[in-house]
Amino acid sequence: SGGALYIRSSNVTFNKCDFLYNTSFNIGGGAIYCANVSESNLNFNESRFIGNVSRTDAVINFDGYSINMDKCLITNNTATSYTIMNISSINNFNLSNTVIVGNSTIGSILTSYSSPVGGVKSKLFNVTICHNKTRSDTKETIYNASGVMEIYNSIIYGNEPSSFKKQVNNNVYSYNSIIEGVSKGENVIDIEPLFVNPSNFISAPFDASNFDYSLQERSPAINYGVNSYISQYQFDYLNNDRIQEDI
């Protein structure tokens, strides 16, 4: 397990690292396996996960204390079953300013488990999760299996729909986001986000680097977010100022 790395009971920070074209066909974790109650804390900053392949959990299988991912690219990864990212956190899971596009699996793109006690929540800030192929009638693109997940200022749109015609399941609460099929929460809209030059889920797996997932000037996503939600995130995925002209 763990095509690139097997991590156990460790605190590790990855800065500007590439996990490219790794393979695992055992338990899972095409790029990283950090499970079996690993007691680990992982941080990923400005890292890329491209072209990894696994039977399950093509990018990562994580079962530990906490995991934080900021300004990462997750694209062109393939799992022959289950999910692309399998996250089980005791303390926290934060995903921010990250692009998850063009992956393929038979299941969910992101599956999350968090402790239902102690107020632990999984949180997504300013993420773009689009045009992934899921090939599943029973699992949404984001499947939060336990605990609470909150999504802020994000776009989840154009992924292969399940039979439920939603992109997120009922354990997810979203705020000021574009989510196809809508979601529980506040100020959530179901509308085409208008990317500059996107692909589509039918073409997945594909490398999002060959397309442009920035927003057109007339995109309804521009200025739809709330600044107070992302005060701790000064820069976006491209290292541009997250807040422009105080808007």
**Each residue's pLDDT tens digit, 33-71:** 997 666 899 999 999 999 999 998 999 999 988 999 999
Task: Give the per-residue pLDDT at 235.
Answer: 65
Q: Dihedral through CA 192, CA 198, CA 200, CA 206, nearest 10?
A: -150
Task: Give the per-residue pLDDT at 241.
Answer: 63
**Each residue's pLDDT tens digit, 184-226:** 899 999 999 999 999 999 999 999 999 999 999 999 998 887 7
Task: Flag whether pLDDT at 11 surpasses 60.
Answer: yes
Strand order in the sheet with 53-54: 23-24, 53-54, 78-79
pTM > 0.85: yes or no: yes
Q: Which residues of 28-51 are buried (b: 16+ CB within 10 A; e: fewer)?
A: bbbbbbbbeebebbbbbebbbbbb
Task: Give the per-residue pLDDT at 234.
Answer: 65
The percentage of residues in the chain with a pLDDT greater than 90, rounded to a whole number, is 65
